[in-house]
Amino acid sequence: MTDRTITLARMKKRAEFLRVTRARTSAGMPGLVLQACPWGDTMSPRHAATVSEKMYQDAGGGDGARIGFTASKKVGNAVTRNRAKRRLRALSAEVMTRHAEPGLDYVLIARQSTATRSYAALRGDLERALKRLKLWRDV
């Protein structure tokens, strides 16, 4: 069996995060919230052609996905927010590259418990969120 991993490119612009949020496809878990949106959805026709091609190239030409991480001030102070985002990045590198569907934009949102929850519990949360959204891919 071949190891089918996907390339994860980072989302950094506020407009990209807002586009995924507008899609209203999310799964909340005790340690995190996962939002997902297919490329090109909820985009104005004027921007769809240029932006979709850019996203396509950034994420490995169709064999990849894009991911963004966010932690609001509700999560805690700057140290806590950064720790939560580091943990989400590590999780995505481990789980999303192997089991997430390509061709989508994902946003992982930290919760107050993200920084203190056990890594195994966070991994289970992410796996359940992918399965709940029917985006889990068996390798």
CATH number, domain at 50?
Answer: 3.30.230.10
Domain annotation covers residue 121: yes
Residue numbers of the domain that contains 101: 7-131
Domain annotation covers residue 66: yes
pLDDT tens per residue, range 90-137: 999 999 888 888 888 999 999 999 999 999 999 999 999 999 999 888
Domain annotation covers residue 27: yes
**How many domains does one find in the chain?**
1
Lowest pLDDT segment from 22-36, 38-52, 92-106, 112-126: 38-52
State residue 1's pLDDT score: 41
CA distance 110 to 107: 10
Domain annotation covers residue 32: yes
Q: Tell me the mean pLDDT in the region 19-27.
A: 90
